[in-house]
Chain A
Amino acid sequence: MSLVNLIAQGVLLGGYYALIACGLSLMFGVMRIVNLAHGDLAVLAAFLVLTISTTFDVSPFLALVVTVLIMAAVGWALQRFILERSLRSGLLVPLLATFGLSIALENMLFEAFGADTRSLGDLIGDLVFDSVEVTSAFSLSYLAMLIFGLAVALLGALSLFLKRTSLGRAIRATAEDPDTAELVGINARAVYGVAAAISVATVAVAGAMLAMRATFDPYSGPMQLIFAFEAIVIGGIGSLWGTLVGGVVLGLAQSVGATLNPKWFLLAGHLTFFAVLAGRLARDWGRARGGLRAALGF
């Protein structure tokens, strides 16, 4: 039973990783930008939820609704004032700009909120520890299930939106080729703005969930970025449902690693990431024979 428990916990943890990854995946898919401030935006959202919730004495979930709107605006502004300028100047500039943003955000949050670790745990009442007890050794936390459900719902909504709506089609067309999309009357600039807003809005949800299920501090961001990135790469870049699979694989690897030795929690995740990467490269090698040989400079 403990094995079932282990797998269940790993899968549910993976739900959080999928949640934090889907915004990063969307932004990379549409704009080809790896946003290095992704994790810090999640932490910013967590602080916003905490501040709104305690200042106005409202439920964190209500505060999250407001935060999602604020973060969507932040995403739009991020695109308009930082990413747009850097988009056409190659790979280097967006990476440098978002890395600068990451450093600036972390330290501004520290300046504003101090070094204390925070949590939304004490604001959500029983939800933080309530669980369905299947057997004495196997129980499922409501919060973890909620997070997993949110991840599935968000990924589902996002893929329906991209497939079925005209705005979704415009986003996909722009992702494919912005110049050609403009030829058929799509305003690429507006589309990028919308994609960035959606991406950062999903980050807000992920940030709030991070804050409910665990603790966070101003410097928690980079680790969330790394988790998100690992989930995307494990699942296969460019696939939204792959992100869920990647998140689950990452969650499982960490759970199994931590069971063997508590110190291996993170390491098991990183090594799984590299193993998957190596496996994929080996597969490409097999498929493309001469191609990869040439690429390696032989």
Chain B
Amino acid sequence: MTVLPKFAVERWTRASAVSGGVAVAVVAALAVLPLIGGDNLVDKLTTLFVYVILAAMWNALAGYAGLVSVGQQAFFGVGAYFAIRCSVAGVPPYPALIAGALIATAVAVPLSYFMLLLRGGEFSIGMWVLAEAIHLLVNLDPLIQGETGTSMIALNAYAHETRLAANYWLALAGMVGLLGAIFVLLRSPFGASVQAIRDDEEAAASIGVSVQRAKRTMFVLAAFGCALAGVLWLATSVTFQPKTNFGVQWTAYMILMALVGGLGTFEGPILGAVLFFLVQDQFAETGVAYMAGLGTVAILFALFAPRGIWGEIEKRWNLRLLPVGYFLRPTGPPKPDRRSK
């Protein structure tokens, strides 16, 4: 008779406990930074936080729910649009920004029922068409003046430093909140069902996963995240130009960060966003050649390392810093499992 080895099911390893502690310390340090740091650093980090949000949102869609959207710029742009509308209607700037993101999310709820009936590649381009249609509809608003765009003038009421710090804290809170939400969501039974859908939709449905509801949740969460990133971008740039704010390059950035960092891992998109931020900082002036390079990097990663950098690290060293899955640790054959009664 063969004795099956005993396993203990674990969620935290020593490495992940340490990194969890480090993450808390880093967030705490980041939170007090504007009180001591320079304006330039604060401004740049705000951009980084927006990138992290975007990468994490695209990863939530594609890496976990298997939804490859090429139209997330729809929410990025429309969040900013609604924020400006709220501001013009008399809402104070920062509440208007948050309201803009929330209204965009409210728009995403009915859209999710419709768009998620499309599958695979149809969903991808369908989302792109949706983004184009919303872009054109926003252009019709006389306030926006077509492609000319407008500005969120009310933001200029604040002193430069005040605004920088407020944007920074809003971005930090948004990033930590969204990452935390994804972390909790993915560790819940819901997370297991979303990943089951990504791996095999029919099989997931057959074991009782509510496929459409799980996808809708991820769709709406990602819409909120992208809209929040969009209003944060508006808060830093003040101007709103439909061509820029609804540009497909936002989705291109999201795809690149999530893909290079590691689709379907929690840590990957954060790593991808940091790398992208550093590269952007160095090479963005080279413009077109730089974009061509980004496209090429995306092809290479898609073909040769679809799990991204973090995926490879996980595979090689079995390292998970912020685990959303489970570990099986062999506890030796005959000894009874500590956890079993």
The one of A89, A225, A281 that contacts B125, using a Cβ cutoff of 8 Å: A225
Known pairs A103-B295, A297-B212; A96 contacts B133 (CB<8 A): no
Known pairs A225-B125, A263-B139, A266-B136; A86 contacts B295 (CB<8 A): no
Asked if residues A103 and B292 are in contact (CB atoms below 8 Å), the reply is: yes
- In Å, the complex CA distance between A4 and B18 comes to 74
Within 8 Å CB of B295, what residues of A? 100-107
Name the distance in Å between B294's Cβ and chain A's nearest Cβ: 6
Is A91 in contact with chain B by the CB < 8 A criterion? Answer: yes
Known pairs A222-B248, A267-B137, A297-B213; A93 contacts B302 (CB<8 A): yes
CB-CB contacts below 8 Å: B282-341 with A: 288-289, 291-303, 306
Within 8 Å CB of A273, what residues of B? 129
Within 8 Å CB of B297, what residues of A? 100
CB-CB contacts below 8 Å: B107-131 with A: 113-114, 117-118, 120-122, 124-126, 128-130
Within 8 Å CB of B293, what residues of A? 104
Is A33 in contact with chain B by the CB < 8 A criterion? Answer: yes
Known pairs A92-B306, A233-B122, A297-B210; A99 contacts B129 (CB<8 A): no
Flag B225-256 by CB within 8 Å of A: 1 or 0 each. 00000000000000000000000100010010
Name the distance in Å between A274's Cβ and chain B's nearest Cβ: 7
Name the distance in Å between B338's Cβ and chain A's nearest Cβ: 38
Within 8 Å CB of B216, what residues of A? 297
Is B66 in contact with chain A by the CB < 8 A criterion? Answer: yes
Is B57 in contact with chain A by the CB < 8 A criterion? Answer: no
The one of B124, B139, B211, B306 that contacts A36, using a Cβ cutoff of 8 Å: B124
SS class, residues of chain B in contact with chain A? helix
- Chain A, interface size: which category? 35 or more
Name the distance in Å between B142's Cβ and chain A's nearest Cβ: 12
Partner-B contacts on A (CB < 8 A): 28, 32-34, 36, 82, 85-86, 89, 91-93, 95-97, 99-108, 110-111, 222, 225-226, 229-230, 233, 237, 263, 266-267, 270-271, 273-274, 277-278, 281, 295-297
Q: Which are the 4 A-B pairs with shortest beta-carbon distances?
A: A34-B121, A104-B295, A100-B298, A103-B295
Q: Could you write out 11 A-B pairs with CB less than 8 Å apart?
A: A34-B125, A36-B125, A82-B299, A91-B66, A100-B301, A104-B296, A106-B291, A107-B295, A222-B128, A263-B139, A278-B114
Knowing that A32-B120, A226-B128, A226-B132 are A-B contacts, what are 15 other residue pairs whose CB atoms are under 8 Å apart, sorted by A's residue number?
Answer: A34-B120, A36-B124, A92-B66, A97-B302, A102-B295, A106-B292, A107-B291, A108-B292, A111-B292, A222-B128, A229-B129, A263-B146, A270-B129, A278-B114, A297-B212
